[in-house]
Amino acid sequence: MTDRNKKLVITIFILLLGNFFVWQSTATRTVIKTEYYFLDVGQGDSELLYLPDGIKVLIDAGNNDGAVVRELEKILPMNDRYIDIAVMTHPQRDHSGGIINLLDSYEFGLLIDNGREGTTKTYDLLREKIKSKKVKTISVTAGDRILYGDIVMNVLNPTKRSRQAKELNDGCIVLLVEDRTTRSLFTCDIGTGIENVLRSTYDIHAQILKVPHHGSRFSSSKAFITAVKPIIAVIEVGDRNSYGHPTKETLAQLSAVGATILRTDKNGTMRVSVENNKLYVSQIDLLPNKLLMDF
């Protein structure tokens, strides 16, 4: 591990430790296992990792239309208005725009980005909001890690090269989250080129996969899906979207490896949790936890 990576791990761990005391004094819910929430924010991405002791890591926040605030309020106690770490995978509106809304309602302990500047008015507004709220911000690159207890969040992308790519999606932050029993892969909007780099560089096998780029035809290659071989594959996508997401090809690739496919346009916001090597899935607006399968 480089000195830079050591410093990053230590810094984030200290921030999480300090935030725990803030959480204790404001929240009423205790989490004893890791829960993964996939938020229904329409044609966009947003995931919440609810870690033991109530630590919250939000990956992306959808568009700046208020959807992420609405969905978080279904999950978090009303008096819990603190996000320990927010990860902005890349500066595109359908992933980062909702952070603008969140900063009006929630306090952030830390914002992590990929070090790439955006070019839209929405991005400019977001940066102004981050500055006015005095949010601590750091950039990560492949090889960095975020540690909390038994949980390791490994940054697999961007590399220095992919961060500067003409295609913004190539530079987005990919996280492989590991605890004692489970591996979960969060893939933002990567395409097949970055998929090929990841599978040739890392062991990317994971029980839970956030499917790349809303299930577009430019991602979810057969080789990549075979390497991940997920039990659960979650596609975050808007109902009857104009892009044709997810494609038949993507759905076929996921089905071929036996993955159970979940979609926010059909299932709404979903919670996936793990207990004793069993995966549980529930739709937030409907039924309690349902045992999906052992692994």
Overall size of the chain counted in residues? 295
Between helix 67-75 and helix 98-105 the angle, nearest 10°, is 50
- 246-295 pLDDT, tens digit per residue, is 999 999 999 999 999 999 999 999 999 988 778 899 998 775 555 555 55
User: Given this model, what pLDDT does residue 52 score?
Assistant: 85
| pLDDT at res. 166 | 87
- pLDDT value, residue 114: 95
* Paired tokens of 13: 């761990």
pLDDT for residue 213: 94
pLDDT recorded at residue 276: 77
173-194: pLDDT as tens digits: 999 999 988 999 999 999 999 9
Domain encompassing residue 236: 3-294
pLDDT at residue 18 greater than cutoff 70? no
Distance CA 183, CA 151 (A): 10
How far is C-alpha 61 from the geometric centre of its chain's CA atoms?
9
Question: Per-residue pLDDT averaged across 84-100, rounded?
Answer: 95
At 149 the pLDDT is 87
> What does the alpha-carbon distance between residue 177 and residue 35 come to, in Å, rounded to a whole number?
12
Q: Which two tokens stand for residue 253?
A: 């690739």
The per-residue pLDDT for 285 is 79
Q: How far is CA 278 from CA 181, 230, 272, in A?
A: 10, 14, 10
pLDDT in tens, 132-156: 999 999 999 999 999 998 899 999 9
What CATH number should be reported for the domain holding residue 224? 3.60.15.10
Examine the pLDDT at 229 and tell me if it is beyond 80. Answer: yes
Residues of the chain with pLDDT > 90, as a percent, come to: 72
Give the helix/strand (H/E) hosting 255.
Answer: helix 248-256
pLDDT at 23: 42
The reported pLDDT for the residue numbered 26 is 42
Residues 147, 68, 47: CA angle, nearest 5 degrees: 35
Two tokens, residue 67? 């959807």
The whole model's pTM is what?
0.89
End-to-end CA distance of the chain: 32
Strand, coil or helix: 277: coil
> Per the structure, how many domains does the chain have?
1
Sheet holding 174-178, edge to edge: 145-148, 151-157, 174-178, 183-186, 208-210, 232-235, 260-263
pLDDT digits over 34-49, tens only?
A: 899 999 999 999 999 9
- Contacts (Cβ under 8 Å, ≥6 apart) of 80: 23, 26, 27, 28, 29, 54
* pLDDT for the residue 24: 42
For 88, list phi and psi in degrees, rounded to 5: -100, 105
Which positions ≥6 away from 121 have C-beta within 8 Å?
A: none
pLDDT surpasses 60 at 107: yes
**Once rounded to an integer, what is the mean pLDDT over residues 208-234?**
96
